[in-house]
């Protein structure tokens, strides 16, 4: 059977855009569809990952079989094994009858596991077995059953980091990632943004019987330069908001600015970043990094002062000197020559060589403090629970994580009594 045309696939599944990376992702999906290989679809939240499992299923020999999409992040940890693999009557409280799991129901078809990175480790072990052998055991049963299911998984997590942190089994990751498909973020598809805007504006106008909105040239440039942390989902929401609220059908840059969240992440043009600069997927990662760097600098300063007080370091060993990086002179730095530690200081700061005392309290039990990302995360969870009077559902929404993830974090940090 000849491979279908990419443009025909886009029309069938409502995919808009001509980005080379997007076309490449569709092409890979069409190439792998006739096989039974496992596929892992990755990309940020809101980029449209849910379209690709359907493409794979519809162009496979399983297209007449069952297709089931499962959001792994929305199923409570205590019941997810039962949902996926089924259970026997009486296997747990409330199990009043036998139940078939998704792997049994989808036999001969395709199972799409969305947010697969949220699966508990115990469920990951079960999933690995069914992927490798096609065998599974229902909850409360000892009978081994067989299934023939094509698994396509998707996640917005960085799976390499998740495996290093022990959140996801490395063997399962490589088993799922037989064929990887990476969906580009909207900010990497700048030329597609006006096309998507026009499509969403047209759909909204047709739905509510109103003239469609359009953009001025300046507004179009602003739309393309926006960071779009929420990707296509965010663009659609903003387009619909403007369509309903604004009376004018021509949207200027001043009008558009009212609907674009005024925060650093959103308004930072990608083109201003160099290849050596690090980008972050959300505001929390930036906050974590800033706090971590600030604490690290404070610890280094404390250590230098402590060494001076303890007599391990002379003030004359500390000099102000410029650091050269890539032949570019930077601001003067205080350099601890023994430790090779550099701390930035203001220009024209002179450190006298005859300093003999430092007016600080010598703490013999001084220990360098550390601030890990886990500490920051724990503190944010405590504050969120406090803000919402212990209501975990509201706290999870505030933290922009699933309830099940919040429950797991509460257990991990021993916060059950909050």
pLDDT of 353 > 80? The answer is: no
Task: Clarify whether residues 38 and 94 are in a common domain.
Answer: yes
pLDDT tops 80 at residue 356: no
Residue 394 confidence (pLDDT): 84
Q: Which pLDDT band, with edges at 50, 70 and 90, does 2 fall under?
A: low
> Is 78 or 178 the better-scoring residue by pLDDT?
178
Report the C-alpha gap between 289 and 279 in whole angstroms.
11
pLDDT digits (tens, 9 = 90+) for 225-234: 999 999 999 9
Q: At 405, which CATH number?
A: 1.10.10
Whether 312 has a pLDDT exceeding 50, the answer reads yes
Q: Alpha helix locations (H) across 2-139?
A: 6-13, 20-32, 51-58, 80-85, 102-105, 121-133
Q: Is residue 357 part of a domain?
A: no
State mean pLDDT over 247-272. 73
User: Is residue 59 situated within a structural domain?
Assistant: yes
On the question of pLDDT at 5 being above 70, the answer is: yes
Which residue range is the domain that position 134 belongs to? 6-184
Q: How much is the pLDDT for 99? A: 92
SS3 275: coil
Statement: residue 364 has pLDDT above 60: no
Instruction: Indicate the residue among 150, 184, 218 that finishes a domain.
Output: 184
Residues 176 and 220 in one domain: no
| 176 has a pLDDT exceeding 60 | yes
Q: Give CA–CA dist 203/266, Å, rounded.
A: 25
Q: What is the pTM of this model?
A: 0.64
Task: With respect to residue 344, please indicate whether it lies within any of the assigned structural domains.
Answer: no
| Residue 342 maps to a domain | no
68 bridge partner residues: 111
CATH of residue 260's domain is 1.10.8.60
User: What CATH number is attached to the domain comprising 10?
Assistant: 3.40.50.300
Give the whole-angstrom CA distance, residue 64 versus residue 150. 13
Q: Which of 168, 184, 200 is the last residue of a domain?
A: 184
Q: Are residues 167 and 113 in the same domain?
A: yes
Average pLDDT estimate for 150-156 = 97
Q: How far are the Cα atoms of 79, 343, 394, 417 from residue 391, in angstroms, in the given order?
A: 21, 43, 6, 12
Residue 172 lies in a domain: yes
* pLDDT for residue 197 is more than 60: yes
Q: Residues 249, 255: contact at Cβ < 8 Å?
A: no
Residues 167 and 22 in one domain: yes
> What SS3 state is found at 91?
coil
Based on the domain organization, do 30 and 17 belong to the same domain?
Answer: yes
Residue 396: predicted pLDDT: 84
- Residue that wins the pLDDT comparison between 91 and 212: 212
Shared domain check, 245 and 176:
no
Confidence of residue 415 (pLDDT cuts 50, 70, 90): confident
- Give, in degrees to the nearest 5, the angle at Cα 184 between 252 and 65: 115
Same domain, 175 and 241: no
How confident is the model over 324-348, as pLDDT tens digits?
Answer: 444 444 444 444 444 444 444 444 4
Q: Average of pLDDT values for 26-39? A: 96
Q: How confident is the model at residue 1 (pLDDT cuts 50, 70, 90)?
A: low
Residue 280's pLDDT band (cuts 50, 70, 90): very low
More confident residue, 309 or 227: 227
Single residue among 184, 215, 249 that ends a domain in this structure: 184
328 lies in some domain = no
Domain identity same for 165 and 16: yes
Confidence tier at 418 by pLDDT (50, 70, 90): low
Average pLDDT, the chain: 82
Residues 38 and 111 in one domain: yes
Top pLDDT among 330 and 408 is at 408
Indicate whether 217 belongs to any domain: yes
- Please state the domain count of the chain: 3
What pLDDT is recorded for position 357? 43
* Per-residue pLDDT tens digits for 78-108: 899 999 999 998 888 878 889 999 999 999 9
Same domain flag for 173 and 221: no
How far, in Å, CA of 114 to CA of 103, rounded?
15
- Average pLDDT on 283-287 reads 57
Average pLDDT over residues 380-385: 87
Record the tokens describing residue 322, joined without a space.
């410029």
80 plus 217 within the same structural domain: no
Assigned domain for 363 exists: no
CB atoms within 10 A of CB 17: 19
Chain centre distance of CA 111: 22
pLDDT, position 378: 85
CA-to-CA dists, residue 328 to 125, 275, 278, 323, angstroms: 52, 17, 20, 8
- If asked whether residues 81 and 223 sit together in one domain, one would say no
**pLDDT category of residue 287 using cuts at 50, 70 and 90:** low
Backbone angles phi, psi at 320, to 5 degrees: -95, 125
């Amino acid at each position: 059977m000849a491979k279908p045309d990419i443009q025909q696939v886009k029309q069938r599944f409502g995919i808009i855009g001509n980005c080379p990376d997007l076309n490449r992702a569709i092409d890979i999906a069409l190439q792998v569809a006739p096989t039974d290989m496992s596929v892992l679809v990755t990309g940020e939240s809101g980029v449209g990952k849910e379209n690709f499992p359907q493409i794979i299923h519809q162009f496979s020999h399983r297209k007449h079989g069952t297709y089931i999409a499962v959001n792994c992040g929305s199923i409570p940890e205590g019941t997810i094994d039962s949902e996926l693999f089924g259970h026997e009557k009486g296997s747990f409280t409330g199990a009043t009858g036998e139940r078939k799991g998704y792997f049994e129901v989808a036999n001969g078809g395709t199972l799409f596991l969305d947010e697969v990175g949220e699966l508990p480790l115990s469920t990951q072990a079960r999933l690995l077995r069914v992927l490798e052998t096609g065998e599974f055991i229902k909850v409360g049963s000892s009978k081994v059953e067989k299934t023939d299911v094509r698994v396509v998984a998707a996640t917005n997590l960085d799976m390499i980091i998740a495996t290093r942190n022990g959140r996801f089994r490395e063997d399962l990751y490589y088993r799922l990632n037989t064929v990887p498909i990476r969906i580009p973020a909207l900010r990497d598809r700048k030329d597609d943004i006006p096309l998507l805007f026009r499509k969403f504006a047209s759909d909204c106008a047709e739905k509510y019987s109103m003239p469609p909105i359009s953009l001025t040239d300046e507004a179009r440039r602003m739309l393309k330069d926006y960071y779009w942390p929420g990707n296509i989902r965010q663009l659609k929401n903003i387009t619909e908001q403007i369509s309903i609220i604004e009376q004018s059908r021509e949207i200027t840059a001043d009008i558009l600015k009212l609907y674009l969240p005024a925060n650093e992440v959103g308004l930072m043009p990608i083109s201003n970043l160099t290849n050596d600069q690090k980008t972050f997927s959300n505001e929390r990662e930036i906050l974590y990094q800033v706090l971590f760097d600030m604490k690290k600098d404070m610890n280094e300063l404390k250590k230098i002062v402590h060494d001076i007080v303890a007599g391990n370091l002379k003030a004359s060993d500390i000099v102000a000197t410029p650091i050269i990086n890539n032949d570019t002179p930077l601001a003067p730095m205080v350099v601890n020559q023994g430790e090779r530690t550099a701390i930035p200081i203001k220009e024209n700061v002179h450190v006298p060589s005859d300093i003999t005392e430092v007016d600080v309290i010598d703490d013999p039990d001084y220990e360098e403090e550390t601030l890990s990302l886990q500490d920051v995360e724990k503190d944010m969870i405590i504050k969120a629970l406090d803000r919402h009077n212990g209501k975990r559902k509201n706290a999870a929404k505030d933290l922009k994580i699933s309830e099940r993830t919040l429950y797991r974090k509460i257990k991990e940090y021993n916060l059950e009594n909050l």
